[in-house]
């Protein structure tokens, strides 16, 4: 009977750890903070700037 309670406690601890790691990853990867943007958000902004600054006729001579 005691093992069933231990399994529940271990499951809850694993769930808390997994949720904490997921929250940390999300905050570091896709943060929209203007002072320190997330890695994916910053790279996406660079891609958008590169696509936006592309002039269609700039390669023609």
**Is 60 exceeded by the pLDDT of residue 1?**
no
Do 32 and 38 contact (CB within 8 A), yes or no?
yes
Token pair, residue 52, equals 């936006």
pLDDT at 50: 86
Class of residue 37 by CB neighbours under 10 A (exposed 0-12, middle 13-18, buried 19+): middle
- CA–CA distance, 31 with 45 (Å, rounded to integer): 12
Q: What pLDDT does residue 53 have? A: 84
pLDDT classification of 4: cutoffs 50, 70, 90: confident
Predicted TM-score of the model (pTM) = 0.61
């Amino acid at each position: 009977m005691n093992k069933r309670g231990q399994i529940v406690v271990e499951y809850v601890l694993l769930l808390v750890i997994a949720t904490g790691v997921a929250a940390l990853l999300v905050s570091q990867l896709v943060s929209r903070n203007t002072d320190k943007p997330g890695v994916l958000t910053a790279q996406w902004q660079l891609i958008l700037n590169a696509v936006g600054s592309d002039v269609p006729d700039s390669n023609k001579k």
